[in-house]
Amino acid sequence: MVPTISPAGTRTLALLASAAILSSPPGASAFGAPPRSRAVAPSFLSPSVRSSSALPTLLRSSLKDKTEVGEDTAASPPPSSEHVAESGEEKKESDGLPWWWELVWKLPIMQRTEPGTDCQFGDSAHVLRTNIEQIYGDYPSLDGCPLAEGDISDIADGTMFIGLERYNKQYGSPYKLCFGPKSFLVISDPVQARHVLRDENVKYDKGILAEILKPIMGKGLIPADPVTWNIRRRQVVPGFHKAWLNHMVGLFGYCNEPLIDSLDKICDTTGKVEMEEKFCSVALDIIGKSVFNYEFGSVKKESPVIKAVYCALLEAEHRSMTPAPYWDLPFANELVPRLRKFNSDLDLLNDVLDDLIKRAKNSRIVEDIEDLEARDYSKVKDPSLLRFLVDMRGADVDNKQLRDDLMTMLIAGHETTAAVLTWALFELTRHPEEMVRVREEIDRVVGDRIPTMEDIKEMKFTRLVVAETLRLYPEPPLLIRRCREENVMPKGGSETQGTVIRGMDMFISLYNIHHSETFWPNAEKFDPDRFTRPYSNPDVPEWKGYDPAKWEGKLYPTENSADFAYLPFGGGARKCIGDDFATLEATVTLAMVLRRFDFQFDQSKKTEVDWMDTVYKLEHPVGMRTGATIHTRKGLHMDISRRKLD
């Protein structure tokens, strides 16, 4: 029997395998002989040692190295798995690898496990082995993918998705990103994304995402393993019934009224407002009422829940980029300040959810059950999703199961919508001609009423604004997967056809796909009307193009209408179940806010933002950073006034 080790143990032991390399003096190898000079060698250093004076800059530019080494360092074509297996016994000691290297991989603990099962230590160790051999041993890469070269600060300063975009322009898709014992295969092509998310989805799972989200969401829908996800989805999805969404549209308007009152008061005082914070507050209030039937009241007073959610997401992103899971070490939770803060935030969120679940179970309304079954939400006293889950599952529903489901909705639900609203207002303020069109439509269709579902159907341009905002600022900008069974990646629009080996973690960069000129003409331009025009690219025959007819009858474009070149909510079987909820909520909120108020950028907050060694001088450079979703760096500061209506 092959020994198994927990995922946390996998990364801890993997770090030990690279420690010898990292601790050796410049120009020498911990394995004995000096490593063969290779342009990619520095890319294996961890972020924690990047600043060491004894070590070169992480991922130093390859131009100098290639000039010194010559053309013999060019990457060889990827060998097949069969070739590697046959030639494994014939591998000789490299200048950078020791005589005992091959013996280590014969140990029982290092053996790979069965394809299609959950990956274990041996699978992750095999990925680490291929990286070390490619970098230090002059062996051809098993995956056939180029290694990115640069400075880890490009992706470790809160704008990782921007750094991945720059590397994509240099290396194509897929390419490999290594730091410490950890590596990711980065995909930036819709054909390849379709392969992972839909066509071969059974060969992938959430991998490292499930590991880092486990303390936050447990086995909720986002991080759940395939078996758990199937059970969860059957239980939760019926709650997002069309009739429930229709009823929620009115509730969205009700929850926006405190926001309107708050903004109205600001118009009478300072005339200055930070709208990202306001949108986060109203989004939390909407989630509170629609999912829990609870009034957070965060628009009227500061809610600790918002800060706790954001800090939890920042910690999750930090863990995804950290070479070894130091948080699993004994006493780490007591000694490390950021872990103490994380656990405190998590305790707050769990206490809130436990209280809401207890309250819902103790106040079951028997009369509502029949109306819930009939989907007649107009008669239901409490139409919240929590009420549906409790009443339809029974009073003995497991609290842990409910907690995992609801934590996922609390975090993912309000974060996504708040981000969409923030960037929609940002882009409309930068493009006043589009703002005029949106307002004309809102005035004509809705006026001073709270929007209804029928109104939303009539507000096509406003819906396109939401869709275009999600294209430019996908929430989240990255999806994470892990390969369970080796398979060959299609080329799509790339020159590279990589092999994904079992145990490899992957980033699917939605940001790169959405910003690619190959699939979206004038991709950086804010152009809501692009979704009314078909587009195809004959240079990418495997991509079926974008066809607006394919989302006819739906309110918003889908991944299928763009053949996975548009993935704001993912795609395939694991697509977000709350996509309609989020887009409807954003549309209603935009309509109510833009109908009543004028916005201009607060020029007193105007600063230059330095991205990737280039100073971008935008009209209002708010900057970008991530905490699972794309946030501004310093808030969306606006001058606000009441709109003059005829």
Q: Give the Cα separation of 279 and 314 in Å (integer).
A: 19
Contacts of residue 245, Cβ cutoff 8 Å, sequence gap at least 6 = 453, 580, 581, 584
Q: Give the Cα separation of 174 and 166 in Å (integer).
A: 13
The H or E element that residue 342 is part of is helix 337-362
Radius of gyration of the chain (CA): 26
Joined tokens for residue 163: 């750094």
Q: Give the Cα separation of 620 and 599 in Å (integer).
A: 13
3-state secondary structure 563-619: CCCCCECECHHHCCCCHHHHHHHHHHHHHHHHHHEEEEECHHHCCCEEECCEEECCC
Q: How far is CA 606 from CA 425, 601, 617, 622, in A?
A: 17, 8, 10, 8
Contacts of residue 529, Cβ cutoff 8 Å, sequence gap at least 6 = 464
The answer to whether the annotation marks 576 as part of a ligand binding site is yes
Q: How far is CA 109 from the centre of its chain?
A: 33
Joined tokens for residue 43: 């890319």
Q: What sign does the CA torsion over 185, 186, 192, 193 have?
A: positive
Q: How far is CA 117 from the centre of its chain?
A: 24
User: Are the beta carbons of 277 and 635 closer than 8 angstroms?
Assistant: yes
Joined tokens for residue 178: 């290594």
Q: Which residues pair with 366 in a beta bridge?
A: none
DSSP label at residue 450: P
Q: Give the Cα separation of 211 and 192 in Å (integer).
A: 24
User: Are the beta carbons of 286 and 252 closer than 8 angstroms?
Assistant: yes
Nearest partner of 566 among 548, 578, 581, judged by Cα: 548
Q: Work out the angle between the directed axes of helices 432-445 and 399-430 (0-180°, nearest 10).
A: 120
Q: How far is CA 578 from CA 36, 86, 449, 453, in A?
A: 51, 48, 25, 17
Joined tokens for residue 489: 């990646």
Q: Residue holding tokens 């209408």?
A: 561
Q: Which residues pair with 570 in a beta bridge?
A: 568
Residue type present at position 392: M
Q: Which residues pair with 637 in a beta bridge?
A: 274
DSSP string, 24-93: SPTT-BTTBSPPPP-TTGGGGS-GGGTT-TTSPPTT--HHHHHHHH-GGGSPPPPPPHHHHHHHGGGPPP
Q: Give the Cα separation of 566 and 557 in Å (integer).
A: 8
List the helix and strand counts (H, then E) for the chain. 23, 14
Residues at the binding site for heme are: 576
Residues at the binding site are: 576
